[in-house]
Structure 1
């Protein structure tokens, strides 16, 4: 579980939160303000933006709940910092008017109570409870117990490999106390810290070995248990081990990372901005350069498609291939082999089809000698 959660958190840490302004669903401006610095660089004095996102996602997948405390500068009415909160140290309270509050331990043990509206809260498996996502333990306990038993059986098999197990048959008559002492001496000498698994006896006693067969899980059973845990998080072993193909990562991004990014962005937008600010298009988005995980061949195809139409600048092309930007690199390249559909006749023949009627020149578009002007 830890490996699964860590993998998702590390990849989500590559997301880039931004404060933008949208109009009709299109980004028209990225706002250069204090909030954008907090989101993209240091949300608080304790962690970077990447670490901030990793902790939020780790809490989200560990407890199916994640909370972020918004610390406001009330004098300036601006955000000072954003702090991810530990879920086990937080509780939701309700007053007589049914208003919700969050009480949590903050900083050096200080107890803080704030309105629930000042807390960014995302949840997973949001089913039974009115506020919290369902606990993981109810779903995962069987698979985790099986996996724990499988690992324990391997450890026991290793320990039993050189273990000496059997019984002693005394060939002479002995007093009970002497028999017990001889038995204890034999155990202490040959069965405790005896890596060789070999013992020796004299003519007073015979050692009869008892065969011990330790049963362990085979590879198919182990894979079955692991796959059940992978399915719970929607990933596979290739994602965990970093051996994924381009298509596997795209599927991972679209099915795991992107839905959480949308959920977190919507909740941050709702809790950070007022209704009036949201009406003016203020919004938080989380974006990722999905071209980074594409193969070189796929990147080349994208550039070959977008460059002729002016879809990429020089610096955007360099960024795709991991190179730093250059001065003047924000210019767009465009091919002269393309023209607007409504201008194609003018581009090819010099004539505007809209000015010709029945294929005859009525003189309106020509000079006094009846010749046609060409641009």
Structure 2
């Protein structure tokens, strides 16, 4: 079975009759990007790729006791075709390009959810079937599919007019037109820079036909040779002048302003795009872009996969990242000294910051505390590490 049939092939809707579908959301989204080629822009693709690459490094964990079979599958990956990194990368790319990303369940022959998959429809609408809202997708191949809205996940950006879907990217059109014009200007400048043009006054020609023949002869003998050489101007030409083309190119400051507009729209900066960000710069990017995606995806996936009762009992799916790994080496050392010595983090958590594996067994689950620190009890008693306590045991 193909991917489409594996996901949507088991859903049965029966034969719809006239007036069977009822549109619930009057807003019809347009899932088209700028000129249909927003992702074909070099700067846009670089920005979207940088964001998706960092998002693909999120660690997806499942917690709780509900549906252990599903949890086991999800720990291995979102579906049988993708890893979690591939799933998150594609989901992030779709969300940036469409401002709406759909996650649909992968079902087995019994209609049970065994995973999830990000889909890219060319259009989607909310309809009513059997008294419940459904999402009806239309794909670029012309195929259509529908599934209960309660079983799907919807992530959005720039949500305004629609109650369910995000807006399109038309707000970026003026900037993209400037980017396109600038690229064309650079291309024309390169072409004109390799072209030599001359203007000259021609004498002793009595007719337009003679003038045309002479122009063709001159071009053939001087401009179409394969061996190179020099241009030979006979005495019939006077006032010979070379024409220099000076195409307009957007100044560097204006080019940077265009790039900044793209960065502002997608929440990106130059340091992250060129893999130069660490420490506070990385933390700012994480909190502004990665964490926002992580929180929304975690909420959407949890609601999609678990019932209200299961969520209340603590079952959830969460995407997290250790942003401390992007600190400089000195910052990591200071973090380990200040936080580890006071017992705020475990040994394995400190090792993770340095990209080290956890210690075997329970060794890494302990909290290291320096010996000169004192523990003040609720009754006001003071105990130093290594000293005997009142009950004869030793505090470690």
| Alignment TM-score, normalising by the size of structure 2 | 0.76
Query: What is the aligned partner in structure 2 of residue 244 from structure 1?
Result: 277
Question: In 1, Cα distance between the equivalents of 2:225 and 2:184?
Answer: 20
* CA-to-aligned-CA distance 1:146-201 (integer Å, 9 cap, x gap): 12212222222221123222334322224433322332343456567999896322
313, 338, 341: which one aligns with 2:377: 341
Say which SS state the counterpart of residue 381 (structure 2) adopts: helix
- Counterpart check, 1:51 vs 2:86: yes
What does residue 3 of structure 2 align with?
none
Q: CA deviation at 1:316?
A: 2.9
2:267 and 2:143 map into 1 onto residues whose CA distance is 37
Give the match's secondary structure for 1:127.
coil
Structure 1 residues 40 and 58: CA distance shift in structure 2, 3 A? farther
Partner residue of 1:135? 168
Residue of structure 1 equivalent to 2:137: 103
Distance 1:197 1:116, change over 3 A: farther
Counterparts in 2 of 1:107-256, with a 5 A limit?
A: 111-136=144-169, 138-187=170-219, 199-206=231-238, 207-256=240-289
Asked if the contact 2:298–2:318 (Cα under 8 Å) also holds between the matched residues in 1, the reply is yes
Structure 1 residue 350: deviation in Å?
9.0
Q: Does 1:66 align with 2:77?
A: no
SS of the aligned residue for 1:330 comes to helix
What's 1:294 paired with?
327
| Shift in Å, 1:334 | 3.6
> Which of 39, 46, 49 is residue 6 of structure 1 equivalent to?
49
Number of equivalenced pairs: 343
Gaps of 5+ in 1: 22-28, 353-372
Q: Which has the larger radius of gyration?
A: 1
Q: CA deviation at 1:73?
A: 2.8
Greater RCO (CA < 8 Å, at least 6 residues apart):
2
- Contact map agreement 1:6 1:58 (CA 8 A) in 2: yes
Cα pair distance change 1:209/1:253, threshold 3 Å: same
User: How big is each residue's C-alpha offset from its partner over 1:272-316, in whole Å with a ceiling of 9 and x where there is no partner?
Assistant: 111221221211211111221112222222222333344433333
Superposition deviation, residue 263 in structure 1: 1.0
Cα distance in structure 1, aligned partners of 2:326 and 2:206: 77
User: Is 2:318 the counterpart of 1:318?
Assistant: no
The answer as to 2:119 corresponding to 1:85 is yes
Question: Structure 2: where are the runs of 5+ without partners?
Answer: 1-43
Q: Distance in 1 between matches of 2:343 and 2:278?
A: 30
Give the Cα separation in 2 of the matches to 1:32 and 1:114: 21
Q: CA deviation at 1:320?
A: 2.0
Preserved CA contact (<8 Å) 2:160 2:167: yes
Match of 1:260 in 2: 293
The secondary structure found in structure 1 opposite 2:63 is strand
Q: Residue 375 of structure 2 aligns to a residue in which SS?
A: coil
Q: Normalising to structure 1: TM-score of the pair?
A: 0.80
| Worse-matched range after superposition: 186-195 or 59-68 | 186-195
Aligned CA distance change for structure 1 residues 146 and 195 (closer, same or farther; 3 Å): farther
